[in-house]
Structures are given as structure tokens and as C-alpha cells.
Amino acid sequence: MADDSVAVLVDLLDRVPAVEPVVLESLGPPEGDGDEDDVLDFLFRRLEAIYRDAVDEVTARWGVPSFDGTVAEDDFPPWADALVAAVWRRGDAVAFLALRHTEEDGPLTLEAVALTKDEIEGMAGIPGVPGEEDGDGDGEE
């Protein structure tokens, strides 16, 4: 699966703007008589391991992401709409891997996503691209 992550992200970048995320992996939703929180935690840990392999694969090709962390971190990009995300700047766009749980009774998903800077800036009140302090794309202040 991780070997496909770079190819999927490149394909998405070739088609921006307005491309739908690609679900690379999906687990759940929790079913059965067990403790739903325990099952969800187990599924999250399992998907997080797959996510980490995918991040490592992309990092090996594209270098260290400009952001790699969880929604609990202060500098988490809110436009990622995820629990965990790794973001790479690619020209006038960003490509990222996102671990998402968007529906309460839905599955956990690992998604490949690409957005242009214009798409991100069009999201009202949402800060810009990680590693882009001055907003002109060169990463310098």
C-alpha cells in the first residue's frame, strides 16, 4: 500500500484544483458486542501503522513533510480536516496524507489529498500552508 502513496499523490497533484481525496485504506466501523471505544482504539492504532508506512514512503521520495502531527498540536493545519496529517508543499499546492474519522458511526480512513494554495486561502478563517510564513510561497519571512 505504501508504495502506491506517492503515485496517488502525484496523480492528485496533476489534477488540482477541485479533486476529491482518495481513500487508500479504510477500517471499521466498530461492530459487535465489545467496548466500542476499545475497538475504535485498536482500529486507530492499526490504521496509524499503515499511515506511518505511507508517510515514510513519501518522505523517502519527497523529503521531510512541512507538517507531520496530530490535531492536538497548535500548528495543525485545520484545512486538513483530520486526526493526523503529514503535509508536503509541492509548487503551488500541498499534498498530504490524512488519517480521518469524519462520521461518528463511520470508518477510520487513510486518505491522500491535494489542495492548491488558492483552495486553502478560499477557506474562510483558515491559516495557510505549513512552512509558508510570509504567504508568498518561498518559505522566507
In tens, the pLDDT along 85-109 reads 999 999 889 999 999 988 877 889 9
pLDDT of residue 134: 46
* Mean pLDDT of the chain, nearest integer: 83
Asked if residue 47 lies in contact with residue 27, where contact means CB atoms within 8 angstroms, the answer is: yes
51-77 burial: b if 16+ Cβ within 10 Å, else e: bbebbebbeeeeeebbbbbeeeeeebb
pLDDT of residue 101: 87
**What residues contact residue 115 under an 8 Å CB cut-off, 6+ apart?**
16, 17, 79, 93, 94, 96
Of residues 31 and 83, more confidently modeled: 83
pLDDT single digits (tens) 52-79: 999 999 999 999 999 999 999 999 999 9
The rounded distance, in Å, linking the Cα atoms of 18 and 1 is 24
Question: pTM for the whole thing?
Answer: 0.80
Helices (H), ranges, the chain: 2-15, 36-62, 117-121
pLDDT of residue 124: 56
Instruction: Average the pLDDT over 9-25 and give the result.
Output: 90
